[in-house]
Amino acid sequence: MSGYFDLHCHYVPGVDDGVRSLEDSLALLRALRGLGFETVVATPHMRPALWDNRAAPLRAAFEGVREAVETARAGGDSLPAIELSAEHFLDEVVYGRLLKGEGLPYRAGRSMLVEFAYESLPVNLPARFFDLRMKRLRPVVAHPERYEAFWKKPVAAAETMRRAGGVLLLDVAALVGKYGRKAMDCAQTLLEAGAYYAACTDSHAPSDVPVMGEALTRLRALTDEDEVDRLFRRGPREILEGRIFDDFD
Ligand SMILES: [Fe+2]
């Protein structure tokens, strides 16, 4: 299979806990291409106090990757198309930046990847999502299966998130236990309930890719080829192109 999109990947070197060098950036992209990914979106962390990346330096760092990719392609390397967005940690600071247009949304400028602390979701999350939606920005929730608030009643938590206007992005490696038993069980329950809008790899290094291969095999065993196509091709494309419509749009 091919033509997949990966909406969440850390291959901009030296800006967060992702790859450390351009060589590893190319190695990661090459390996994902080998799994069928034809477009891989870079989503470096934008997370104050930990990796406080702003949009402009991330754009500059991404240009370095783009040049390396173009040079490698000219030499015959098979690499996916690349795009830049960010993984926005939705605290007060980053939320403020998003409202001011200082975030890095996906391609069409209508949706962006968001994450929270694993232990507890922000109490004002529905209000923040509402404000973002009023700005015509759709929150795409990274790895919901890792949040403790999802573990007890995954489907109810997913419904709360959906009502607030967020769409859920499965980290496929959760299906093979990369993040522990609770995240794995939660991911499987949400998958069976059809709660995910799309899936991704959230890869941080070339060494992550064999696990992603196992995870894709597991996903195919749990669902069917049409569902894999929805999660890795149709859903991501709608997110990138800003084609998720509802009452706000
Ligand atoms: Fe991530």
**pTM given for the model:** 0.96
Q: Please give the distance, rounded to the nearest whole angstrom, from the Cα atom of residue 249 to the centre of ligand 1.
A: 27
| Architecture of the domain defined by 4-241 | Alpha-Beta Barrel (3.20)
Residue 91 has which token pair?
Answer: 């605290």
How sure is the predictor about 105, in pLDDT bands with cuts at 50, 70 and 90? very high
pLDDT in tens, 119-150: 988 889 999 999 999 999 999 999 999 999 99
Residue 1 has pLDDT above 70, yes or no: no
Confidence of residue 245 (pLDDT cuts 50, 70, 90): low
Could you say which DSSP state residue 14 is in?
A: T
40: left (phi over 0), alpha (psi -120 to 50) or beta: beta
pLDDT at 247 over 70: no
Q: What is the mean pLDDT of the chain?
A: 95
Specify the residue for token string 């490698």.
Answer: 72
Q: What are the tokens at 154? A: 């995954």
Q: Is the pLDDT of residue 248 over 60?
A: no
Residue 55 CA to ligand 1 center (angstroms) comes to: 16
What's the mean pLDDT in 57-85?
97
Domain ranges of the chain: 4-241
Question: What is the percentage of the chain residues whose pLDDT exceeds 70?
Answer: 98
What is the whole-number distance in angstroms between the Cα of residue 4 and the centre of ligand 1?
A: 18
Q: What is the pLDDT of residue 246?
A: 60
**Res 207 pLDDT > 80:** yes
**Helices 92-99, 125-134: inter-axial angle, 10-degree rounding:** 10
Centre of ligand 1 to C-alpha 247, Å, is: 29
The 10s digit of each residue's pLDDT in 151-192 is 999 999 999 999 999 999 999 999 999 999 999 999 999 999
**Rounded mean pLDDT of 44-58?**
96
Q: Average pLDDT, stretch 35-57?
A: 97
Ligand 1 centre from 199 Cα, in Å?
Answer: 12
Four-CA torsion 182, 184, 189, 192, nearest 10 degrees: 180
If one counts every other C-beta atom within 10 angstroms of the C-beta of residue 139, the result is 23
Cα–Cα dist 67/88, whole Å: 25
| For range 219-225, the mean pLDDT | 96
